[in-house]
Structure formats: C-alpha cells, structure tokens
A and B are shown apart, each in its own frame.
Chain A
Amino acid sequence: MKRNNSLMNRLLMLLVFLFLYAPIFLLIIFSFNAGNSNMIWKGFSLDWYAKLFHNRLIMESVYTTLLVSLLATVIATIAGTFASIGFYAMRRRIRTPLMTVNNIPMMNADIVTGVSMCLLFVAFFNGWENFSVWFNSLGLFQLPTRLTMGFGTLLIAHITFNIPYVILAIGPKLRQMDKHLVDAAMDLGCTWMQAFRKVILPEIKPGIVSGALTAFTMSIDDFVISYFTAGSGSSTLAMTIYGMTKKRVTPEINAISTLLFVTVLLLLAVINIREARQERAALRRK
C-alpha cells in the first residue's frame, strides 16, 4: 500500500514536471529541426542557429539587451549597495516601512510598472519641451526641445526595477556583520569611506555579487517593462522575439528563445549554487 502510494506520488510529480517543462522541451527540440515547421521533424540541424547570427535585427537587439543589462546592473548595484547601508543605519521603526516600500516594485505587476514609467517619461518630456522652448528664447544656448523614449529611458527603467533586488540581497549580509566592525576600523584610523572599502565591502561582497547576478538576470529576462519604455528607437531581444511572432513562429525564434532560456538558467544556477555555498560557510562559522 505504502509502496503503491509512493509510486503514485512519483507519477504525479512526473506529470507536473512534464506539464511545466514540455512546452520548453518542445521549443528546444524544434530549434534543431532541419525543416521550417514546428510540428514535423525533418532531421537534426544547426541551421537556425547559424541563421540567427546573420540576422541583423536579432544581433542588434542582443547587443542592446546585453548593454542595457550590464549598465543597469552596474549602476543598480552601486546605488543599491549604498542604499542598503543607509537602510542598515536606520532605526528599525523607520527601516521596516521603508523596506516594505522597497519590496513593492518587485511584487507589483510588470505591466503596471511599465505603463506608469511610460506615462512618467511622456509627462516629463512634455514639461521639458515647454521649459526648453522658454529657455531657448533667452538665447543663451540652445537645448533640444524634443526628447523621445529610447535607450536612455530603457536604461533608467531597468536601473529602477533592479535596485530593490540588490538591496534585498545585501541587507542580510549587513545584518550578519558585527555591527562594531565599522567602529573598530574608524577607531584604528579609518575615515568612514576607508572603513567602507577595507571592512564593509569585503564583508558584504557575496551579497553584492548575488544582487548583481539577480539584477542582471532580471534585466536580460524583462519584456513588459522594456516594451513600454524603449520607445521605437531601441529593442531588446525579448521585444524582437515578440515582434517576430506577430508574423509567424519560425524555428529561428525557437533557436533564440533556447539561447535566452539557457542563459537565464545558467545565471539562476550560479546564483543558487553561490547561496548554498554561503549558507554552508555561515553554518561552519557558527
């Protein structure tokens, strides 16, 4: 009876995983299809992958995605690191509500974040137009009057949604740190900045790296917020894929999606392995 039960359990689990991953497996398998169908298998080939690298539209959006993700990660990591130190120094009564505010954007529906940022940019550009027309009439020097959404707004949006993840990753590291370490460093002749560099940074480095990796993954991965903030000028990979599906789903899309899936999977694996290792190290220290 018991054996039977565990067999049932396993079967059920298999079904669940099949249900979850079957679409992705299908997508990956057909990315290696020799024919251009997503239903009829015509033999193995890497043609679609080769074709990818000759598609300028895709290559450009890969470049945009990598650039925006890298820049957003670097900026968000620096900003998030200092922000978490600020949070850490706050009194609990102020910190707790502010941390909740910090966490809301992560829970918030992407579409709401995307639309609201889009509205904000448009409103700002309108205001800017009025201001620059007035300023140019002064005749000092000429400001551009028309701003449009593009790489700049895309980057700002990515930085914005990345910062909370960085703060979330660094916070625990700071709280684990002996709170007298900074005092000790300053006692031994460090200014605050020196203490930060020589003592805090080495202590919270694992948190910073985890935060940066998470931020990078989120950036690579994002579609909805990018869609509303990139304007017509630039396009991320996810946006390009979406654009291509409007015509017809070719195995080329399978191929690029497979690559995207593998990249994010690898990043997530790295993040998880690091976390497991740190937990073990923390246990050993105790």
Chain B
Amino acid sequence: MSRELIRLRDVCMAFDDELVLDHLNLYFNDKEFLTLLGPSGCGKTTTLRIIGGFATPTSGDVLFDGVRINDVPPYKRQINTVFQKYALFPHLNVFENIAFGLRMQKRPDPKDPTGKKMVKIPEDEIRERVMEMLEVVSLKGFEHRKPDALSGGQQQRVAIARALVNKPKVLLLDEPLAALDLKLRKDMQIELKRIQQQVGITFIYVTHDQEEALTMSDTIVVMDKGSIQQIGTPEDIYNEPKNAFVADFIGESNIIDGIMLQDKLVQMYGKTFPCLDGGFAPNEPVDVVIRPEDIDIVPVEQGQLIGTVTTVTFKGMQYDIIVDFKGFKWLIQTTDHCPEGSRIGIKIDPDGIHIMKKSQYSGMFGDYSSFSEEYDELDDASLSLDEEESGDEA
C-alpha cells in the first residue's frame, strides 16, 4: 500500500467539557479516497477541521509527513477544503473565485539567483491554470458568472476547482453533496471519484450518507460518539461489521441475540445454524447479523425458522417485507410476493450469517418493529445536517 501522509495521534477535542473526539488514532495514506462516516455529532466534521487547521485539538498530535502541525495555521498547510455549502465568494465571479488561492501565493523568483526574493504568480500562468481547472470540472465558458447565477451542482464544481487549482496534497470535503438533489448527487459521486483519480491526491471525505461512502471510498472510517468504530474497505465494512452500530449504520441489518456454541455453529431462537465465523469462547453470547438480501423464503415445512409476514412494501426491484419471529421483527428483501398475514419459512446460508462480539451497542439496533419510522428518519437527512451545524457553533 502507499505511503502514510497524515496521522492523528491520540487526538482529543472538548467543547465546554463535552468530549467530541475521544483519543482518536488514525492515519491517512497518500492518494487514497478515505471517508469519515457517521451520524451527526459523531465528531467527523471536527476531525476534518482539525486536519484543515480550523480547530486545534485539546490534546494529541496532528502529523503531516511526520511533522507536527498542530499550530500551523490553515494558510500554511498543503491542504485545501471544499466546504459544506461551498462558501464561494459571492462578490467574485467564477474565474476570480478559482484564481483566489493562486493570487495569494508567493514563490521564489526564478530570475533571482539567491532564491530569496518572492514573487507573485504571473497573470498568464494564473489564467492558464484556472482554465485548465475549469476543464477538469467541466465548467468551461462559465468563468464570468457570479456564484449566485449558478446551479447547486455548478457551484459545487467551482468549489472543487477553487481548492484543486492550488495543487494541494490533500483535499478535504465536508459533506459536499448534501445540498444537491438525489440524481445530481449520484452523478457527482462518480464525478468526484473520477477527479480524484485524475489529479491523484488524497481525498478525505466526510458524510453521513452510507451509500455515498460505499460508492466512492478506498477506505471507510465509521465513527460514533467521537470514537472510531471500524476502519476498512467498503466490502469489509459491509460484510464484516465489527459491532451492532456499524452493522445498522451501513445498510440494513437484522441483529439477533445468539449464543456461539462452538466455532462455526451459532444458536438463535433455540435452534442451531451453521456459519463461517469462529474464535469465540464456547457458549459466548454474541450479536448475529443477517442482511435482508441473504435470507431465502421457503415453504413453512422446509424453514429453519417460521414467522408471520406483518408488512409488505413494494420497492420496484424487490419487496421489503417485515416478518415477525417470536416478537422480533426482521426485514427481508425478496422478489417473491408473500401476502400480509401469511406464514413463511426462511433459510439462511452459512455465508449469510455474520457473528459479532457483544458491545455497548448490543440490543440498540436491528429490530424492525419501528420500520416506518426509520424510513422517515432517512428522508430527513438534510435535517440532521442542520443539527450538526448548530452543534458546531455551540
């Protein structure tokens, strides 16, 4: 794997005695697309602000290329940021917005032999680089527009160009797609990934949208309550969640209490199921994760478990059905239609079962008794965003 670029060592952050980051240890590799993922108030934005230099950690170190940069102001860091609501300068046009960083830069005069004299970047080079950047973000011909004459997606691209034109080593993105509508968001996800591969620098991306994280990232860091819950590739995080929080936050999960009888054998509802996990103590209580798409519906007589369908929702590609197994409600995704009130059997293959150790999150997630409410919450993504903002201010 490539070389380490940024490291956070034992970083703590407290606002008014409230611990926002709790002994965070994390490193970022060069040229990787890393996503900090978590619900609002989990500390992901604070982590980003610490890396950008907009916040100083209460304790711990921030290292850039092995050098401690805790007290280096933002304007001296080789890091640029794309802010949540773009923060374009309203009084400048697109060209001047993108040129802003270049106009601030000074570098050694190539004509000066001592190399001490600092000069500004010449105007023709600025023009060239801005135009090049406009091409990268597909905004040629927009250079004379003011930001308020652009659509949300276009403003987004200007913000990215404005940051990238300075050739930073790291680009920080703070929920950059949150204000866009769904269709545009999907397009921009692919666009962002393309830009990252084209310019070949590290992207550190903050989001509360698990789908966004899975689509774009090389590495995902799942955070909650100021602590890292899991670090891994999107596949790892989805297939092998470490605890009930991660399992619930990434995708849909049924999380059931189980007992690990022995390696590769777990007991749920008093029945034994073969699985692929091991390394637990005999008869250790565990959390069992079963993804809704890994459950096969079979005739009652062939079922490992038998339950009653309580709700059916048509989703286009599949039906989401809620099935009651002895009072615990499961979400199952199936292409077969099962009418409400019918009794069905289910079968789970060993590779559809994932075993997790008990954690502080056990028993908090994975029951679909309040299914519809959960969907409402998902629709209110923008709402939780605002909450985080007001939280920052306090």
Please state if B87 and A184 are interface contacts (CB–CB under 8 Å).
Answer: yes
B163 CB contacts on chain A under 8 angstroms = 187-188
Interface window among B34-42, B97-105, B320-328: B97-105
Interface string of A138-175 (1 = CB under 8 A from B): 00000000000000000000000000000000000000
Contacts of A189 in B (CB 8 A): 75, 101, 104-105, 166
Q: Which residues of A contact B394 (CB under 8 A)?
A: 91-92
Q: Which residues of A contact B85 (CB under 8 A)?
A: 178, 180
The yes or no answer to B84 lying at the interface (CB within 8 A) is yes
Tell me whether A285 and B148 are in contact (CB under 8 A). Answer: yes
A144 to chain B, nearest CB (A): 46
Give the shortest distance, in Å, between A117 (CB) and chain B (any CB). 37
Q: Which chain A residues border B91 with CB–CB below 8 Å? A: 202-203
Mask: chain B, 68-85; 1 = CB below 8 Å from A; 0 = not? 000001110001110111
Are A188 and B83 also in contact (CB < 8 A) when A91-B394, A183-B74, A285-B148 are? no
Query: Range of interface residues on chain A?
Result: 20 to 34
Can you list, as one digit per residue, whether each of A184-200 has a CB less than 8 Å from chain B (1) or not (0)?
11111111001000110
Q: Is the CB of A181 closer than 8 A to any CB of chain B?
A: yes
- Please tell me if the beta carbons of B81 and A184 are within 8 angstroms of each other in the complex: yes
CB-contact partner of B52 in A92, A187, A194, under 8 A:
A187
Closest chain B residue, CB of each to CB of A182: B87
Q: What separation, in Å, do the CA atoms of A20 and B280 have in the docked complex?
A: 90
Q: A91-B394, A183-B74, A183-B81 are contacts. A188–B166 as well, Cβ < 8 Å?
A: yes
Flag if B104 contacts A190 (CB, 8 Å): yes
Q: Could you tell me the distance in whole angstroms from the C-beta of A90 to the nearest C-beta in chain B? A: 11
Which residues of the partner chain A approach B105 to less than 8 Å between Cβ atoms? 189
How far apart are the CA atoms of A91 and B394 in the complex, in Å? 7
B142 within 8 A of A: no
Q: Mark A202-213, 1 if CB is under 8 A from B, else 0.
A: 110000000000
A190 to B104, CA, bound (A): 7
B77 nearest in chain A by CB position: A187
Q: Which partner residue on chain B sits nearest A202 by CB separation?
A: B91
Q: Once the chains bind, are A188 and B87 in contact (CB under 8 Å)?
A: no
Chain A residues closer than 8 Å to B365, beta-carbon distance: none
Q: Are the CB atoms of A180 and B75 closer together than 8 Å?
A: no
Residue among B75, B80, B105, B394 having the largest count of chain A Cβ atoms under 10 Å: B75
Contact between chains at A184 and B89 (CB < 8 Å) = yes
Alpha-carbon distance A215/B122, docked complex (angstroms): 43
A185: B residues at CB distance < 8 A: 89, 100
B148: chain A residues at CB < 8 Å are 285
Query: Which of B87, B105, B148, B166 has the most C-beta atoms of chain A within 10 angstroms of its own C-beta?
Result: B87
Give chain B interface residues in 146-191, CB to chain A under 8 Å: 148, 162-163, 166
Q: Are A187 and B90 in contact (CB under 8 A)?
A: no
Q: Which residues of B contact A92 (CB under 8 A)?
A: 393-394
Q: Is B54 an interface residue (CB 8 A)?
A: yes
Shortest beta-carbon distance from A189 to chain B in Å: 3
Partner of A194 from the list B79, B90, B104, B162 (CB cut-off 8 Å) is B104
Q: Are B89 and A187 in contact (CB under 8 A)?
A: no
Residue of B at shortest CB range from A91? Answer: B394
Are A188 and B104 interface neighbours, CB within 8 A? yes
Q: Which residue of B lies closest to A183 (CB)?
A: B54
On whether the beta carbons of B74 and A186 are closer than 8 Å, the reply is yes
- Chain B neighbourhood of A194, CB < 8 A: 104
Q: Which residue of A lies closest to B89 (CB)?
A: A199
Given A181-B89, A199-B89, A202-B91: A187 and B75 within 8 A (CB)?
A: yes
A188 with B73, Cβ < 8 A, contacts A183-B87, A199-B89, A202-B91 known: no
Q: Which residues of A contact B90 (CB under 8 A)?
A: 178, 203
Bound-state Cα–Cα, A180 to B54, Å: 10
Evaluate contact between B104 and A187: CB separation under 8 angstroms.
no
Q: A183 with B100: in contact, given A188-B166, A191-B75 (CB under 8 Å)? A: no
Chain B residues with Cβ below 8 Å from A285 are 148
Q: Which residues of B contact A188 (CB under 8 A)?
A: 75, 80, 100-101, 104, 162-163, 166
CB distance from B81 to the nearest CB of A (A): 5
Q: Which residues of B contact A199 (CB under 8 A)?
A: 89
- For the complex formed, measure the closest distance between the CB of A197 and the CB atoms of chain B, giving whole angstroms: 12
Which residues on B sit within 8 Å (CB–CB) of A187? 52, 54, 74-75, 79-81, 163
Say whether, besides A91-B394, A188-B101, A189-B104, A181 and B87 are in contact (CB < 8 Å). Answer: yes
Contacts of A190 in B (CB 8 A): 75, 104
CB-based contact B73/A186 at 8 Å: yes
Collect the chain B residues with CB atoms within 8 Å of residue A203's CB.
90-91
Within the assembled complex, what's the spacing in Å between the Cα atoms of A181 and B85? 10
A30–B263 CA distance with the chains assembled, in angstroms: 108
Which residue of A has the minimal Cβ distance to B165? Answer: A188
- Chain A residues near B83 (CB, 8 Å)? 180, 183-184
Whether the pair B87, A180 counts as a contact (CB closer than 8 A) is yes
Nearest-neighbour CB distance to chain B for A42, whole angstroms, equals 57
A178 touches B87 (CB 8 A): yes
CA distance A91 to B84 in the complex (A): 21
Which residues on A sit within 8 Å (CB–CB) of B74?
183, 186-187
Instruction: Give Cα A191–Cα B148 distance, bound, in whole angstroms.
Output: 26
Q: How far is the CB of B259 from chain A (nearest CB, A)?
A: 50
Q: Mark B270-297, 1 if CB is under 8 A from A, else 0.
A: 0000000000000000000000000000
- Could you name 25 residue pairs across A and B whose Cβ atoms are closer than 8 Å? A92-B393, A92-B394, A179-B393, A180-B83, A181-B87, A183-B52, A183-B54, A183-B74, A183-B83, A184-B83, A184-B88, A185-B89, A186-B54, A186-B74, A187-B54, A187-B74, A187-B75, A187-B79, A187-B81, A188-B75, A188-B101, A189-B166, A191-B73, A199-B89, A202-B89
On B, residues with C-beta under 8 Å from A are 52-54, 73-75, 79-81, 83-85, 87-91, 100-101, 104-105, 148, 162-163, 166, 393-394
What are the 4 closest A-B residue pairs judged by CB atoms, nearest first? A189-B104, A188-B101, A180-B87, A184-B87
A188-B100, A188-B162 given; name 11 further pairs at CB < 8 Å: A91-B394, A92-B393, A180-B84, A183-B54, A184-B83, A184-B87, A184-B162, A186-B74, A188-B75, A198-B100, A203-B90
